[in-house]
């Protein structure tokens, strides 16, 4: 495929879904459903009793698939390492939405490991039960996303 063909339509258009291996499907399902508020989908009958859970925000058929691999699986490495650093989930449109999920996380005893003003987003960071870092964010209104300095600048403290 040539560069011209890519420019005319082939290529990535959006991130479709994430698949995470988890130690315990029940614990992870509770986190993504209860703490983060994702809508759990009913698994198709042909999947039988596979230890999986599907979630969607309603944008597409599914955006998150959890697959249980058991507690003996290697843990997610902490600190600097190759692979996934974090993934971001837009949870609303305003800081009030961010405060609401902060309060839900606090009520459920989910530790918040970071809070940042990125100029273009306001973000909370949490770890899922398996140690994957999840950014929960809202876009800042009236920000020029074409301003690379605003996007790539250092994060600032955020007070909610």
* In a shared domain, residues 155 and 99: yes
Separation between Cα atoms, residue 160 and residue 151, nearest integer Å: 20
Average predicted confidence (pLDDT) for the chain:
88
β-pair partners for 125: 114, 135
CATH code, domain carrying 150 = 3.10.180.10
- In the structure, what pLDDT confidence band is assigned to residue 150 with cuts at 50, 70 and 90? low
Q: In whole angstroms, what separates CA 23 from the centre of its chain?
A: 18
Q: Which domain holds residue 20?
A: 14-70
* In a shared domain, residues 37 and 92: no
- Report pLDDT digits (tens) over 95-117: 999 999 999 999 999 999 999 99
93 three-state secondary structure: coil
Q: Are 123 and 158 in contact (CB under 8 A)?
A: yes
Q: In whole angstroms, what separates CA 16 from the centre of its chain?
A: 12
* In a shared domain, residues 105 and 58: no
- Report pLDDT digits (tens) over 11-27: 888 889 999 999 999 99
Q: Are 23 and 129 in contact (CB under 8 A)?
A: yes
* In a shared domain, residues 105 and 157: yes
* In a shared domain, residues 58 and 34: yes
* In a shared domain, residues 65 and 89: no
* In a shared domain, residues 102 and 131: yes
Separation between Cα atoms, residue 77 and residue 136, nearest integer Å: 21
Number of folded domains that form the chain = 2
To the question of pTM greater than 0.75 for the whole model, the response is yes
């Amino acid at each position: 495929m040539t560069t011209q063909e890519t420019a005319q339509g082939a290529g990535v258009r959006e991130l479709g879904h994430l698949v995470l291996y988890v130690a315990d499907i029940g614990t992870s399902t509770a986190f993504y459903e209860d703490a983060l508020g994702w809508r759990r989908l009913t698994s198709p009958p042909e999947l039988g009793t596979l230890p999986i859970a599907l979630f969607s925000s309603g944008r597409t058929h599914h955006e998150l698939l959890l697959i249980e691999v058991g507690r003996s699986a290697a843990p997610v490495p902490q600190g600097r390492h190759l692979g996934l650093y974090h993934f971001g989930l837009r949870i609303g449109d305003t800081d009030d939405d961010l405060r609401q999920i902060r309060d839900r996380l606090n009520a459920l005893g989910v530790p918040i490991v970071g809070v940042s003003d990125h100029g273009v987003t306001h973000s909370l960071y949490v770890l899922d039960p398996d140690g994957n870092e999840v950014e929960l964010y809202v876009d800042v209104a009236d920000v020029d996303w074409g301003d690379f300095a605003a996007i790539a600048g250092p994060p600032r403290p955020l007070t909610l």
